[in-house]
């Protein structure tokens, strides 16, 4: 017997929004009686940018900015048709990117 698996990967700049979305997915999957593994927090991707404050002189004066991308991984094991239907109807907040692979 082959085991089916759906892998859901969530990404967001706001970790609170990400945790809320992953909790919604976990609750939805548990209501449909499918097994679930996760949410697993993946490493945070940090992009740093350094720019000059002045447009002309003073290279010693710089600003640094960073962009943090938080990620979570959720595996849904042995999904049923009800699970897939419930996930399709689920409304997640704006600002959360969802990547689904089977």
Span 9-53, pLDDT tens digits = 999 999 999 999 999 999 999 888 888 988 999 999 999 999 998
Break the chain into its structural domains and give their ranges. 5-101
Pick the CATH number of 5-101 from 3.40.50.880, 3.30.70.600, 3.30.930.10, 3.40.50.300: 3.30.70.600
Q: Are 16 and 93 in contact (CB under 8 A)?
A: no
According to DSSP H, which parts of 4-93 are helical?
15-31, 81-89
Report angle CA 69, 66, 7 to the nearest 5 degrees.
Answer: 10
Exposed, middle or buried: residue 19 (CB in 10 Å: 0-12, 13-18, 19+)? middle
What does the alpha-carbon distance between residue 37 and residue 20 come to, in Å, rounded to a whole number? 17
Q: What is the pLDDT of residues 64-92, one digit of tens each?
A: 999 999 999 999 988 888 888 888 888 88
- Is 0.85 topped by the overall pTM? no
């Amino acid at each position: 017997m082959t085991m089916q698996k759906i892998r859901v990967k969530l990404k967001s700049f706001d970790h609170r929004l990400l945790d809320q979305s992953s909790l919604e997915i976990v609750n939805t999957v548990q209501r449909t009686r499918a097994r679930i593994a996760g949410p697993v927090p993946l490493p945070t991707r940090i992009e740093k940018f350094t720019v000059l404050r002045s447009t002309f002189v003073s290279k010693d004066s710089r600003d640094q900015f960073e962009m943090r991308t938080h990620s979570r991984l959720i595996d849904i094991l042995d999904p049923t048709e009800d699970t897939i239907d419930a996930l399709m109807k689920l409304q997640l907040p704006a600002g959360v990117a969802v990547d689904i692979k089977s």
